[in-house]
Structure 1
Amino acid sequence: MQGKGIIKFFLVVMLLVTAYQYFFIIPTNAVEADAADYAQEESGQTEGEEFRMMRAYYLDSISNQEVFSIPLIKSFTYQDLKAQQLNLGLDLKGGMSVVLQVDLREFLRTLARNTKDPTFDEAINKASQAQSNAQDNYIALFADAWREVRGDKDLASIFSRNDALRDQIPMGTSDAEVIRILRDQADEAVASTYELLKKRIDRLGVVQPNVSLDAERDLILVELPGIENAERARSFLTGAANLEFYDVKRIDQTAINALIEIDQLLERRAKIAAGRDSNYVEAKTYRYDTLYRADDLGNLTTEIDRIDTTEVTNQTAGPLFSIFSPNNGNLGPAVLGVATERNLAAVKDMLEDPEVERLLPRDVIYRWEASPLPIDEQGTLGDLYALYQLDLPRDGVAPLTGEYVTTASAGPQPDGQLAVNLSMNSEGARIWARMTTEAANDQNRQVAIVLDDRVVSAPRVNGPIPGGNTAITGGFNVEEADDLANMLRVGRLPARTEIIQESIVGPSLGAENISRSITALLIGFALVVLFMIFYYGGGGIVSIAALLLNIVFIFGVLASLGTVLTLPGIAGILLTIGMAVDANVIIFERIREELRIGKTVQNAIQDGFSNSYSAIIDANVTTLLIAITLAWFGLGPIKGFAVVLMVGVISSMFTAVLVGRLFIDWWVNKKGDLSFWTAPSKNLFSNINVDWMGKRKISYAISAILVVLSLASIATRGFDLSVDFKGGYSYTVVFDKAVNPQDLRAALATPFGGEPIVKSVSTDNTFNIVTDYLVEETALVDGKEPQEVVLAALHTGVQAATGDSGLTLEQFSDTEAESGTHITSVSKVSPTIADDIMRSALWAGAIGLLLIFLYLLLRFNKPRYSIGAIVALFHDSIIVMGVFSFFWGRLGFNMEVDQAFIAAILTVIGYSINDTVIVFDRIREFLNTYLSRSKTEVINDAISTTVSRTVITSFTTVLVVLVLFLFGGSSIKGFAFALIVGIAVGTYSSIFVATPIVHDLTKEPEVKISEGTPTPAKA
Structure 2
Amino acid sequence: MQGKGIIKFFLVVMLIVTALQYLYILPTNAVENDAEDYAQEQSGETEGEEYRAMRAVYLDSISDQEILKIPLFSGFTYQDLKSRQLNLGLDLKGGMSVVLQVDLREFLRALARNTKDPTFEEAITKASQAQKNAQADYISLFADAWQEVRGDQTLAPIFSRNDAIRDQIPVGTSDAEVIRVLREKADETVSLTYDLLKKRIDQLGVVQPNVSLDADRDLILVELPGIENAARARNFLQAAANLEFFDVMRIDNSMINSLIQADQLLDRRQKIAAGRDSNFVEAKTWRVDTLYAQDSLGNLTTEIASIDSVEVTNQTAGPLFSLFSPNNGSYGPAILGIATKNNLDTVSTLLADEEIARLFPRNAIFRWEESPLPADELGNPSDIYALYVLEMPRDGKAPLTGEYVTTASSGPQPDGQIAVNLSMNSEGARIWARMTTDAANDQNRQVAILLDDRVVSAPRVNGPIPGGNTAITGGFNVQEATDLANILQVGRLPARTEIIQESVVGPSLGASNINSSKIALGVGFLLVLVFMLFYYGGAGIVSIIALLLNLIFIFGALAGLGTVLTLPGIAGILLTVGMAVDANVIIYERIREELRSGKTMANAIQDGFSNSYSAIIDANVTTLLVAGVLAYFGLGPIKGFAVVLIVGVLASVFTAVLVGRLIIDWWMGRGGNMSFWTAASKNMFANINIDWMGKRKITYGISALLVLASLASIFTRGFDLGVDFKGGYSYLVQFDQEVDSEALRAALTEPFGGEPTIKAVDGQNTFNVVTNYLVDETGQIEGREAQEVVLEALYTGVKTVVGDNSLTLKQFGNTEAGDGTHITSVSKVGPTIADDIKRSALWAGGIGLLLIFLYLLLRFNKWQYSAGAVAALFHDSIIVMGVFSLFWGRLGFNMEVDQAFIAAILTVIGYSINDTVVVFDRIREFLNTYVSRGKTEVINSAISSTVSRTVITSLTTLIVVLVLFLFGGASIRGFAFALIVGILVGTYSSIFIATPIVHDLTDELEAKKVEAVGTPAKAKV
TM range (shorter): over 0.9
Percent of residue pairs identical: 74
Deviation per CA, 1:872-927, whole angstroms, max 9, x where unpaired? 11111111011011111111211111111111111111111111122222223333
Distance 1:300 1:10, change over 3 A: farther
The equivalent of 1:348 in structure 2 is 348
Q: Confirm or deny that 1:583 pairs with 2:583.
A: yes
Matches within 5 A, 1:876-891: 876-891=876-891
The equivalent of 1:459 in structure 2 is 459
Alpha-carbon contact 1:244-1:451 (below 8 Å) kept: yes
Q: Please, which moves more after superposition, 483-492 or 936-945?
A: 936-945
Q: Please, which moves more after superposition, 933-942 or 776-785?
A: 776-785
Deviation per CA, 1:149-180, whole angstroms, max 9, x where unpaired? 12222222222333332233333222223223
Distance 1:284 1:651 in 2: 86
Deviation for aligned residue 1:658? 1.9
Distance 2:501 2:1000 in 1: 49
**Secondary structure at the residue paired with 1:671?**
coil
The equivalent of 2:1013 in structure 1 is none
Distance 1:160 1:912 in 2: 59
**Secondary structure at the residue paired with 2:1004?**
coil
The equivalent of 1:18 in structure 2 is 18
Matches within 5 A, 1:618-1017: 618-1005=618-1005
Letter in 2 for 1:627: A
Matches within 5 A, 1:290-329: 293-295=292-294, 310=310, 317-326=317-326
Q: Please, which moves more after superposition, 389-398 or 22-31?
A: 389-398
Deviation for aligned residue 1:99? 2.2
Distance 1:630 1:269, change over 3 A: farther
Distance 1:43 1:433, change over 3 A: closer
Deviation per CA, 1:23-78, whole angstroms, max 9, x where unpaired? 01111222233344445656777x66589648845654545252613067444443
Distance 1:302 1:385 in 2: 22
Distance 2:301 2:709 in 1: 73
Distance 1:396 1:150, change over 3 A: farther
Letter in 1 for 2:208: Q
Q: Confirm or deny that 1:168 pairs with 2:168.
A: yes
Distance 2:268 2:693 in 1: 84
Letter in 2 for 1:657: V
**Secondary structure at the residue paired with 1:705?**
helix
Distance 1:818 1:756 in 2: 26
The equivalent of 2:424 in structure 1 is 424
Q: Confirm or deny that 1:279 pairs with 2:278.
A: yes
Letter in 1 for 2:387: L
Deviation for aligned residue 1:308? 7.2
Letter in 1 for 2:752: F
The equivalent of 1:436 in structure 2 is 436
Distance 2:865 2:479 in 1: 64
Distance 2:172 2:573 in 1: 58
Deviation for aligned residue 1:480? 0.7
Deviation for aligned residue 1:452? 1.0
Letter in 2 for 1:823: I
Distance 1:14 1:755 in 2: 56
Alpha-carbon contact 2:310-2:326 (below 8 Å) kept: no
Deviation for aligned residue 1:725? 1.6
Deviation per CA, 1:647-672, whole angstroms, max 9, x where unpaired? 11111122222222222221221235
Distance 1:27 1:187, change over 3 A: same
Q: Please, which moves more after superposition, 640-649 or 93-102?
A: 93-102
Letter in 2 for 1:691: D
Letter in 2 for 1:94: G
Letter in 1 for 2:947: V
Alpha-carbon contact 2:56-2:205 (below 8 Å) kept: no
Distance 1:428 1:60 in 2: 35
Distance 2:437 2:301 in 1: 29
The equivalent of 2:132 in structure 1 is 132
Matches within 5 A, 1:65-84: 65-66=64-65, 68-70=67-69, 73-84=73-84
Distance 1:645 1:989, change over 3 A: same
Deviation for aligned residue 1:486? 0.7
Q: Please, which moves more after superposition, 203-212 or 229-238?
A: 203-212
Deviation for aligned residue 1:207? 2.8
Deviation per CA, 1:325-369, whole angstroms, max 9, x where unpaired? 456898666445433221222233344456766777665543222
Unaligned stretches of 5+ residues in structure 1:
none
Letter in 2 for 1:583: A
Letter in 1 for 2:126: K
The equivalent of 1:570 in structure 2 is 570
RMSD, matched Cα? 3.2
**Secondary structure at the residue paired with 1:877?**
helix
Deviation for aligned residue 1:451? 0.8
Distance 1:154 1:909, change over 3 A: same
Alpha-carbon contact 2:290-2:309 (below 8 Å) kept: no
Alpha-carbon contact 1:237-1:497 (below 8 Å) kept: yes
Q: Confirm or deny that 1:369 pairs with 2:379.
A: no
Q: Confirm or deny that 1:31 pairs with 2:31.
A: yes
Distance 1:149 1:252 in 2: 47
Alpha-carbon contact 1:432-1:468 (below 8 Å) kept: yes
- TM-score, scaled to structure 2: 0.92
Distance 1:355 1:669 in 2: 98
Alpha-carbon contact 2:345-2:782 (below 8 Å) kept: no
Q: Please, which moves more after superposition, 212-221 or 544-553?
A: 212-221
Distance 2:289 2:323 in 1: 16
**Secondary structure at the residue paired with 2:670?**
helix
The equivalent of 1:612 in structure 2 is 612
**Secondary structure at the residue paired with 1:408?**
strand
Alpha-carbon contact 1:363-1:394 (below 8 Å) kept: yes
Distance 1:376 1:26, change over 3 A: closer
Distance 2:541 2:820 in 1: 50
Distance 1:235 1:1006 in 2: 68
Distance 2:943 2:288 in 1: 92
Deviation for aligned residue 1:687? 1.9
Distance 1:284 1:83 in 2: 71
The equivalent of 1:558 in structure 2 is 558
Letter in 1 for 2:390: L
Matches within 5 A, 1:107-506: 107-249=107-249, 263=263, 266-267=266-267, 270-271=270-271, 273-274=273-274, 276=275, 279=278, 281=280, 283=282, 285=284, 293-295=292-294, 310=310, 317-326=317-326, 334-353=334-353, 363-373=363-373, 382-440=382-440, 444-506=444-506
Distance 1:231 1:341 in 2: 18
- TM-score, scaled to structure 1: 0.93
Distance 1:600 1:743 in 2: 72
The equivalent of 1:537 in structure 2 is 537
Distance 1:702 1:1008, change over 3 A: closer
Distance 1:50 1:244, change over 3 A: closer
Alpha-carbon contact 2:729-2:829 (below 8 Å) kept: yes
How many residues align? The count is 1013
Distance 2:301 2:378 in 1: 8
Alpha-carbon contact 2:263-2:319 (below 8 Å) kept: yes
Distance 1:84 1:162 in 2: 47
Alpha-carbon contact 1:299-1:458 (below 8 Å) kept: no
Letter in 1 for 2:128: S
Alpha-carbon contact 1:375-1:384 (below 8 Å) kept: no
The equivalent of 1:64 in structure 2 is 63
Distance 1:267 1:764, change over 3 A: same
Alpha-carbon contact 2:731-2:770 (below 8 Å) kept: yes
Letter in 2 for 1:281: F
Q: Please, which moves more after superposition, 961-970 or 332-341?
A: 332-341
Distance 1:354 1:261 in 2: 14
Q: Please, which moves more after superposition, 323-332 or 149-158?
A: 323-332
The equivalent of 2:1012 in structure 1 is none
Alpha-carbon contact 1:746-1:755 (below 8 Å) kept: yes
Distance 1:43 1:379 in 2: 25
